[in-house]
Amino acid sequence: MNKNEWWRGAVIYQIYPRSYADSSNNGVGDLVGIIDKLDYVASLNIDAIWLSPFFKSPMKDYGYDVSDYRDVDPLFGSLEEFKKLTDKAHSLGIKIIIDQVLSHSSDQHQWFVQSRKNKTNPQHDWYVWADPKPDGTVPNNWLSVFGGSAWSWDSRRAQYYLHNFLESQPDLNFHNPDVQQQLLDDVEFWLKLGVDGIRLDACNFYFHDQQLRNNPPVPVDAEQTKGVTGANPYSMQRHVYDICRPENLTFQKRLRQLFNRYPGSCSLGEIGADNALEVMAEYTEGGDKLFMAYTFDLLTTDYDSGDIRKIVGEVESTLTDGWPCWSFCNHDVPRAISRLKSDTAKTPAHANMLLALLTSLRGSSCVYQGEELMLPEADIPFDRIQDPYGIPFWPEFKGRDGCRTPMPWQSNKAQAGFSEVEPWLPMPAEHLPLARDIQEKNSTSALNLWRHFLAWRKQQSALVHGDFSWINSKDVKQTLLFSRKSDDQHLLVAVNISAEEKTIAVPAGYSNIHILASSGFDCSYNADQRQLTLPAWQLCFAQIENN
């Protein structure tokens, strides 16, 4: 594989800086805290780090409201400290991917401060402004992902401005060539600093319909938009005119041309849409747009084998030459281990099964800080909620704070070693027995099983970049059977997503099978009966010699 395509099959570890490690003891994680933990990160055997936003911001949406695209917020540190972080990560063989939130900025960004002054200033059309209807109401029926209308009134201009998210996150006007060029220059600023990749937040939200046509309603009984809570009226519209506009593809091509000038760099797109898998295929095909992308389909699954088979099958049939990036967990959704249906207490086997399944699919993988510790979703009381998305929809939707709580490093220290003071979100008591220091001492902990598996996976060419195909077998509830095949290796992968032992028949045509014991899972193969037997919450990796 071309060394510049390191991202193909890579395992990317997402760090949410506010909650990773607090070196300054102000209750908020920072860049120096991450630097101090990089040796630990390297021990996980991941390939890259994705850093959630650390740019200057008023923190209304905790960094996803940028007020300066080229500087570090003092809360997290300095640009010099970011350079030190990048240098140390590279010395450990870790690539760096950073977030770029291009669809919108903070209302405190100087561009918006200038734009809202009047209708004649040099940046008057850098954001999406529209006149009210004759009766003074909003220009159309577009809704914000975070609730309510996507339009807010500005008395200075006597116009409405568009915001697909918070009122304090006005949408940039990508129909303006100057806006496009400015954002390309801002992305290049970080590429020049040596980052290896850019994660593009809401990358299908850049353009809007210039005619401002109303979105149509969702037909009765249609599936709601992935990643959006059912309590949110946003899921009641088909988002035809506010996102996924055709002009977006042209801008993605301009971004790709920029990345191509920096060999070894890549882009990772976040796609939230009504038909997200189709959009992902469109945005990654042809080698001239996104390098890879992810949707919310697996991020919102409850791990029913039928749903996984359907989602993966659709990706395999539609992506053609595109490249997916799979995730079970990130900063936007409840933690993966808590979504796993099980009547028994979660064990390291559960976490190991989820990791192995995720990283055995064709594509790259994003894993989220704390998954290696098997951290469950935290239940944050309403008076401690910080997420502006969760507050208006409580209690049907409690927001994203439950997956953003601080990392527990040392069980016997105040705030589990994250900070010496009360952190910005409470340290859950149920996370203390799962702290890093406890798991380090146990060879069968989730943390050490994670390390063992990812070290083993790095040596399996079929899992890193091989082809994928489902294997037709007798359908056994809550099991999956597929193969991964590279030029020098052919693997059979069987998965048991249940609390019961499962026996899976291996179809005729697959012979000379032997179990790879070093995979760290417990399973057996009866060659006479052509059956794989998997205990609860287990995977089986079998080498196929003649297929």
Residue by residue, pLDDT tens for the chain (547 residues) are: 688 999 999 999 999 999 999 999 999 999 999 999 999 999 999 999 999 999 999 999 999 999 999 999 999 999 999 999 999 999 999 999 999 999 999 999 999 999 999 999 999 999 999 999 999 999 999 999 999 999 999 999 999 999 999 999 999 999 999 999 999 999 999 999 999 999 999 999 999 999 999 999 998 776 666 677 778 899 999 999 999 999 999 999 999 999 999 999 999 999 999 999 999 999 999 999 999 999 999 999 989 999 999 999 999 999 989 999 999 999 999 999 999 988 788 999 999 999 999 999 999 999 999 999 999 999 999 999 999 999 989 988 999 999 999 999 999 999 999 999 999 999 999 999 999 999 999 999 999 999 999 999 999 999 999 999 999 877 788 999 999 999 999 999 999 999 999 999 998 888 788 898 777 888 999 999 999 999 999 999 999 986 5
Q: What are phi and psi of 536, to 5 degrees?
A: -60, 140
Residues 351 and 409 in one domain: yes
Residues 181 and 319 in one domain: yes
What would the two tokens of residue 91 be?
């010395």
Whole-number Å distance between alpha carbons of 220 and 217: 9
35-43: long-range contacts, CB 8 A cutoff, minimum separation 24: 35/81, 35/84, 35/85, 35/88, 38/85, 38/88, 38/89, 38/92, 38/94, 39/92, 40/436, 41/13, 41/15, 41/89, 41/92, 41/94, 42/92, 42/93, 42/94, 43/451
Q: What is the CATH number of the domain that holds 503?
A: 2.60.40.1180
Residues 379 and 477 in one domain: no
Residues 471 and 341 in one domain: no
Catalytic residue among 30, 196, 270, 316: 270
Catalytic residue among 65, 201, 274, 372: 201
pLDDT of 547 reads: 55
> Does some domain include residue 392?
yes
Residues 452 and 471 in one domain: no
Alpha-carbon distance values, 292 to 20, 46, 295, 366, 435 (Å):
26, 18, 11, 11, 33
Please say if 242 is a catalytic residue: no
> Does some domain include residue 304?
yes
pLDDT of 84 reads: 98
| Count of other CB atoms within 10 angstroms of residue 148 | 14
pLDDT of 510 reads: 83
Residues 239 and 276 in one domain: yes
User: Is-contact 390 451, C-beta < 8 A?
Assistant: no
Quick one: which H or E segment has residue 200?
strand 197-200
Q: Which domain holds residue 340?
A: 3-106+174-456
Strand partners, 494: 481, 540
Whole-number Å distance between alpha carbons of 464 and 352: 17
> Does some domain include residue 67?
yes
SS3 38: helix
pLDDT of 231 reads: 80
pLDDT of 450 reads: 96
> Does some domain include residue 161?
no
- C-alpha 358: how far from its chain's center? 13
Whole-number Å distance between alpha carbons of 416 and 397: 28
pLDDT of 226 reads: 66
Tell me whether strands 129-130 and 159-162 are parallel, antiparallel or unpaired: antiparallel
Residues 452 and 481 in one domain: no
| Count of other CB atoms within 10 angstroms of residue 348 | 18
Residues 236 and 317 in one domain: yes
Whole-number Å distance between alpha carbons of 522 and 494: 12
> Does some domain include residue 371?
yes
DSSP assignment of 356-399 equals: HHHTTSSSEEEEETTGGGTPPPP---GGG---TTTGGGTTT---
User: Is-contact 271 294, C-beta < 8 A?
Assistant: yes
Residues 402 and 291 in one domain: yes
pLDDT of 224 reads: 61
Quick one: which H or E segment has residue 436?
helix 436-440
Alpha-carbon distance values, 22 to 75, 390, 420, 423, 494 (Å):
10, 25, 8, 9, 41
Amino acid 292 reads M
pLDDT of 284 reads: 98
User: Is-contact 101 201, C-beta < 8 A?
Assistant: yes
**The whole model's pTM is what?**
0.97
pLDDT of 508 reads: 83
User: Is-contact 48 97, C-beta < 8 A?
Assistant: yes
pLDDT of 517 reads: 76
Whole-number Å distance between alpha carbons of 72 and 85: 13
Q: What is the CATH number of the domain that holds 287?
A: 3.20.20.80
> Does some domain include residue 119?
no
If you ran DSSP here, which 8-state letter would residue 506 be given?
A: P
Alpha-carbon distance values, 194 to 48, 264, 529, 541 (Å):
13, 10, 55, 37
Q: Which of 398, 430, 456 is the last residue of a domain?
A: 456
Residues 364 and 448 in one domain: yes
Q: What are phi and psi of 289, to 5 degrees?
A: -130, -125
> Does some domain include residue 130?
no
Q: Which of 436, 456, 476 is the last residue of a domain?
A: 456
Please say if 270 is a catalytic residue: yes
What would the two tokens of residue 266 be?
């890549």
Q: Which of 438, 456, 474 is the last residue of a domain?
A: 456
Number of domains in the chain: 2
Residues 189 and 229 in one domain: yes
> Does some domain include residue 205?
yes
pLDDT of 225 reads: 66
Alpha-carbon distance values, 253 to 258, 282, 413 (Å):
9, 12, 50
Residues 474 and 521 in one domain: yes
pLDDT of 1 reads: 65
